[in-house]
Structure 1
Amino acid sequence: MNSPKNFSFTLLDGTTFHLCNGVPQVVLVVNTASRCGFARQFEALQKLHDRYHAKGFTVLGVSSQSFGKQESDLPADIAAAVQNKCSVVSFPITQLTAVRGKAIHPFYAWAATQVSLLGRPKWNFHKYLIGKDGQLITWFSSTTDPLAPKVIEAVEAALDNG
């Protein structure tokens, strides 16, 4: 079984984001799609990122077409579409990444083994909270607002742990 420390994603600018980069951090991994009805969550995700980033937290937006092809193909088009939804997005966003199916990204394949069937992405904006140790702490459904009290509490607890 892969250790979460081995998971990496290619960002829109072509650089690599390592889930565990040697610096303990808490990461909220969110599969995103700019043409999804839940894309309004980009703003709340940015607020969450801004609130806790200095304490070792980041949001990772994982661009995906796994649900309804609601994302552009090209990195530049994804970046423009995201900026259209939220004027300032400073958290990292990946190039297109499969979150289910035959081409599933290794992180999502691993995460599926860590949760029940209910905890797997059913649509865009599903959220996985990863702790400083690289382990999956919990998940939140697409309908859960990133600024909901249960998300805030889980992020703060993860930041305080360790």
Structure 2
Amino acid sequence: MHTNTAKDFSFTLLDGTLFKFSNQDVLVVNTASQCGFARQFNALQELHDRYHAQGFTVLGVSSQSFRKQEFDQPCEIAAAIKNKCNRVTFPITQLAAVRGKSIHPFYAWAATQVSLLGRPKWNFHKYLIGKDGRCITWFSSVTDPLAPNVIDAVEAALANQ
């Protein structure tokens, strides 16, 4: 099956409900609560809070693809994230592979939308997906979610009605 946009995919959230891409801009971030980059949860929450009312959300994709730095069970993942950041209101998924044989279909698709450099090489890699479901850009793990280039990209996406 040939897929053209992120709207062709969904993720199962920690509470068992489905997340579908629909008419909002989404920053998709592969997360791992035991990773050194987990300090980014606070900045991701701030970014979500700043732009959510305008049609933007952060989607945290729990993953063990890099050194298994995430727990197995949804309740353990939620507790570990709460331990890192008291208030996370953006959606967090159950475990999903971002590379390898069992790669989640979204990540397999995203890999076709960017160069080899734009594929996740560690936890907290970020893809900005537009309202239309297309991949706008990506940011590496070391890029702070509140960095000017991230803010500029999110604001440009939001302005593109």
TM-score normalised to the size of structure 1? Answer: 0.97
Q: Which residue of 2 aligns with 1:39?
A: 38
Q: Which residue of 2 aligns with 1:13?
A: 15
1:17-71: CA deviation from partner (whole Å, max 9, x where unpaired): 0022xxx100000000000000000000000000000000000000000000000
Q: Which residue of 1 aligns with 2:149?
A: 150
- CA drift of 1:132 comes to 0.8
- CA drift of 1:6 comes to 1.4
Distance 2:21 2:123 in 1: 20
1:105-139: CA deviation from partner (whole Å, max 9, x where unpaired): 00000000010000000000000000011000000
Distance 1:7 1:150 in 2: 27
- CA drift of 1:2 comes to 1.3
* Structure 1 SS opposite 2:76: helix
Q: Which residue of 2 aligns with 1:119?
A: 118
- Within 5 Å, which residues of 2 pair with 1:13-162? 13-20=15-22, 24-162=23-161
TM-score normalised to the size of structure 2? Answer: 0.98
Task: Count how many residue pairs are aligned between Structure 1 and Structure 2.
Answer: 159
- CA drift of 1:101 comes to 0.3
Distance 2:7 2:61 in 1: 17
Which 5+ residue runs of structure 1 have no aligned equivalent? none
Distance 1:5 1:89 in 2: 24
Q: How much is the aligned-residue C-alpha RMSD, in angstroms? A: 0.5
* Structure 2 SS opposite 1:30: strand
Q: Which residue of 2 aligns with 1:2?
A: 3
- CA drift of 1:94 comes to 0.1
Distance 1:114 1:36 in 2: 26
Distance 1:66 1:51 in 2: 29
Distance 2:52 2:100 in 1: 32
Distance 1:13 1:98 in 2: 18
- CA drift of 1:158 comes to 0.0
- CA drift of 1:5 comes to 1.3
Distance 1:74 1:101 in 2: 20
Which 5+ residue runs of structure 2 have no aligned equivalent? none
1:55-113: CA deviation from partner (whole Å, max 9, x where unpaired): 00000000000000000000000000000000000000000000000000000000000
